[in-house]
Amino acid sequence: MNTGNQPLRAGGLAADHEVLWVPPREAWARTRMGDYLDWVAREQGYAFADYPELWRWSVDDLPAFWASIWNYFDVPAYSQPTAILTDADRMPDARWFPGARLNYAQAVLRMPGLADGDTAVIAHSQTRRPVHYTVAELRDQVARARRGLRELGVGRGDRVAAYLPNIPETLVLMLATASLGAIFTSCPPEFGARSVIDRLGQIEPKVLVVVDGYRYGARSIDRSADVDEIRSALTGLAHLVQLPYLHPTAPPMSGASSWHELLGRAGEFTFEPVPFEHPLYVLYSSGTTGLPKPIVHGHGGILLEHLKSIALHHDLGPGDRFLWFTTTGWMMWNYLVSGLAVGSAVVLFDGDPGYPDLTGLWELAATTHTSYLGTSAPFLLACRKSGLSPKTAVDLSALRGLGSTGAPLPAAGYRWVYDEVAADIYFASISGGTDLCTAFLGGAPLLPVRAGVMACRALGADVQSIDEEGWPVLGREGELVISKPMPSMPVGLWGDVERVRYRETYFGAIPGLWRHGDWITIAEDGSCVIGGRSDATLNRGGVRLGTAEFYGVVDAMPEIRDSLVIHLSDNDSGADELILFIDLEEGRDLDLALRQRIAARLRAELSPRHVPDEIHQVPEIPRTLSGKKLEIPVKQILRGARPETVTAAGVLADAEALRPFVELRERRSGAAGSAARDHRKL
Ligand SMILES: CC(=O)CC(=O)O
């Protein structure tokens, strides 16, 4: 066992990625992962020399590993499990912790290591003044909301929905709902009525809690008309509760009761004991067609996964302040809430992180003494592009960790973090998603950080890269699969009683393996790089090109704010076109010189195959609300699909962003279009 006196083993690391941070010698003694390793050695007799050994055990002996997580975190339970995992080899029918009865909300509100008067929630908003809850206040609010919901008739299995932003009331509502064994779901108020109805209409909530509107940067957005439309569309809705947010003194709309009434009476701080797989919340994953997929997550799976991930991988615990910039429409919100379960205070933010400029989010981290800040790759890259230096702009002395997700972060983004945020920070780009409500790739505080590389696969996550024939491969790109069950795999899809859709969605392509839809390269040492979505592949002349490496080169050019690349191919006609779209910085134009510079860069840094056939300037790259580029919808539009059929409502950050692609398709398909195409050809 490594006692912390010897340097950690770094053998086998991908040598072509420079090391930007090395864990300090005392990392083992000081981090929660080190503490857990000591505990596993002491209590279970397993001694591991380093992270790779620990990871190997965590996936080879799933029952022993997950039992250790249950015991190390001393999960509060009403009844203990009779087994840890049954039918492990029959994914997706594996069963976790049969016999256990617990409640996620109880475990979260335990807030270990914190006293009643300690800070539990700090919330900043562009709509109202900051709000602060102590541990005792948060518990009291949840108990009140629980009583209010019960008096509205909410019980086990009922659905409670929020059309609320990332504010303490949403967190209180979620925990109160879970405490009753009812099922929570949320849509952020950026979603218009159609998007909300598409989601909530599928799960028929009994209670809906809404805001009247909100401020985003300098803009006020009133949502009363949307609330009216949503209310009329939700047939099973028994109660509408309104939180006065944009207009704090206005009475609730007709037919609605107020949030203050809901919380009017003190309640008991109690919890409904539920089985491990009892539904906790429904998240939505938007495909390119049809309604958003309603993914049901369970109490026990989410609790265990988040305890492991937030405490061991992010190294968070009592005394920490955890801020991840997210809305209530992204799984990172649910992840953030679980920060309380490890004893960290959570910092909530509702508004535009780039308002009045990109310093905004860093300033928030500074004023709230945030110790771990999470954000997205597009945000970090935008900060880099703008020449921002957070370490000189604000006091980040409390910051120990920084996280990024939403898209792969290229090496230049990592370098910027260490140059301009802090040289001694533990940084991790993480990857996972809504379907597992976690990150299964990321960092570990005992591993070095290398530019452009995720340091490891998460504990308990048997992530593999497989080739075309299904063999696991190392050191070359393959399809990302998870080959063994994880407790936070969905307990089902809403309404899919026979689990037909569930099987088809995740296990249909490769029976017995969870196919995630990404390309991944895993190195000998377990570090990994995501190469882009496997369904958005650029496959030129039979050679596969990852979108992530493409963006790494193009987005690094100072003239380019953002980019999107697609590959159009057609076996019948023999078409094989690589088309690049770029959004240029203010005052820049796509002239011949810039086209040639882009081509030269791609040729030199990647290969001649990466040089696009066409480059088009667009006013904006279409992205989802959580920052993901919409490559597939763009490809489908260029192939002739109508925009409303390629994205579900509410997916796009800006619905107008698809228009230029429709226009391009029209130009390309018309006679005038061919002339224009020739003109634009690189
Ligand atoms: C953890 C994640 O993978 C978050 C996301 O990008 O959706």
Residue at 564 is within a domain: yes
Range of the domain at 626: 536-670
Residue at 654 is within a domain: yes
Nearest ligand 1 atom to the CA of 434 is 7
Nearest CA to ligand 1 atom 6: 406
**How crowded is the C-beta side of 624, counted as CA atoms within 13 Å?**
25
Q: Which of 302, 303, 309, 308 is nearest to 324 (CA)?
A: 309
Distance CA 63, CA 304 (A): 13
Q: For residue 340, how far is the Cα from the chain centroid?
A: 18
Q: What is the Å distance from ligand 1's center to 328 Cα?
A: 14
Whole-structure pTM value: 0.88
Residue at 155 is within a domain: no
C-beta of 433 in contact with ligand 1 (< 6 A): yes
Between vectors from CA 272 to CA 268 and to CA 277, what angle results, nearest 5°? 150
Nearest ligand 1 atom to the CA of 376 is 6
C-beta of 488 in contact with ligand 1 (< 6 A): no
Residue pair 443/430 in contact by the 8 Å Cβ criterion: yes
Which tokens in the block code for residue 138?
A: 């948060």
C-beta of 626 in contact with ligand 1 (< 6 A): yes
Q: What is the Å distance from ligand 1's center to 185 Cα?
A: 18
Residue pair 108/83 in contact by the 8 Å Cβ criterion: no
SS3 labels along 566-591: EEEEECCCCEEEEEEEEEECCCCCCC
Residue pair 64/44 in contact by the 8 Å Cβ criterion: yes
Q: Which of 281, 326, 306, 303 is nearest to 174 (CA)?
A: 281
Q: What is the Å distance from ligand 1's center to 678 Cα?
A: 39
Q: What is the Å distance from ligand 1's center to 335 Cα?
A: 10
pLDDT of residue 681: 37
Residue at 320 is within a domain: no
pLDDT of residue 8: 31
Residue at 389 is within a domain: no
Cβ-based neighbours of 596, under 8 Å, separated by 6 or more: none
pLDDT of residue 571: 59
Query: Would you mind telling me the total number of residues written for the chain in this entry?
Result: 682
Q: Cis bond leading into 378, ω under 30°?
A: no
Distance CA 9, CA 2 (A): 10
Q: What is the DSSP secondary structure assignment for residue 609, as one 8-state letter? A: G
For the beta carbon of residue 588, count every other beta carbon within 10 angstroms: 16
Q: Cis bond leading into 356, ω under 30°?
A: yes
pLDDT of residue 672: 40
Q: What is the Å distance from ligand 1's center to 588 Cα?
A: 32
Q: What is the Å distance from ligand 1's center to 318 Cα?
A: 25
C-beta of 442 in contact with ligand 1 (< 6 A): no
SS3 labels along 320-376: CEEEECCCCCCHHHHHHHHHHHHCCEEEEEECCCCCCCCHHHHHHHHHCCCCEEEEE
Q: What is the Å distance from ligand 1's center to 438 Cα?
A: 7
For the CA atoms of 52, 54, 55, 56, the dihedral, rounded to the nearest 10 degrees, stands at 90
Q: Which of 658, 603, 586, 604 is nearest to 629 (CA)?
A: 658
Distance CA 653, CA 562 (A): 14
Q: Say if strands 159-163 and 183-187 run parallel, antiparallel, or are unpaired.
A: parallel
Residue pair 207/236 in contact by the 8 Å Cβ criterion: no
Between vectors from CA 268 to CA 265 and to CA 272, what angle results, nearest 5°? 125
Residue at 172 is within a domain: no
- Could you report the average pLDDT of every consecutive run of 10 residues in the chain (682 residues)? 32 66 97 98 96 98 98 98 92 95 98 98 98 98 98 98 98 98 96 92 98 96 96 96 96 95 97 98 79 94 98 98 96 98 98 95 98 95 94 98 94 96 98 97 98 97 93 94 97 96 92 92 95 76 72 89 88 76 93 93 83 94 84 87 75 83 87 42 38
C-beta of 436 in contact with ligand 1 (< 6 A): no
SS3 labels along 155-203: CCCCEEEEECCCCHHHHHHHHHHHHCCCEEEEECCCCCHHHHHHHHHHH
Helix axes 547-554, 592-605, angle to 10 degrees: 130
Residue pair 80/101 in contact by the 8 Å Cβ criterion: no
Residue pair 352/360 in contact by the 8 Å Cβ criterion: yes
Q: What is the Å distance from ligand 1's center to 223 Cα?
A: 28
Cβ-based neighbours of 496, under 8 Å, separated by 6 or more: 502
Cβ-based neighbours of 215, under 8 Å, separated by 6 or more: 125, 126, 127, 221, 246, 351
C-beta of 430 in contact with ligand 1 (< 6 A): yes
Residue at 545 is within a domain: yes
- Domain count for the chain: 1
pLDDT of residue 431: 97
Residue at 95 is within a domain: no
Q: What is the Å distance from ligand 1's center to 441 Cα?
A: 10
C-beta of 432 in contact with ligand 1 (< 6 A): yes
Element (H, E) at 120: strand 119-125
Nearest ligand 1 atom to the CA of 431 is 3
ipTM of the complex in this document: 0.98
Could you tell me the CATH number of the domain that includes residue 650? 3.30.300.30
As to burial, measured by CB atoms within 10 angstroms (0-12 exposed, 13-18 middle, 19+ buried), residue 188 is buried
Mutate to test the pocket of ligand 1, among 324, 431, 480, 628 (most ligand atoms within 8 A of CB): 431
Nearest ligand 1 atom to the CA of 405 is 6
Residue pair 326/166 in contact by the 8 Å Cβ criterion: yes
Q: What is the Å distance from ligand 1's center to 331 Cα?
A: 7
- Measured between its terminal Cα atoms, the distance across the chain in Å is 59
C-beta of 405 in contact with ligand 1 (< 6 A): yes
Query: For the chain, how big is the Rg over CA atoms in Å?
Result: 25
Phi-psi region of 461 (alpha: psi -120 to 50; beta: other; left: phi over 0): beta
C-beta of 439 in contact with ligand 1 (< 6 A): yes
Element (H, E) at 184: strand 183-187
Which tokens in the block code for residue 232?
A: 């009329």
As to burial, measured by CB atoms within 10 angstroms (0-12 exposed, 13-18 middle, 19+ buried), residue 128 is middle
Element (H, E) at 456: strand 456-457
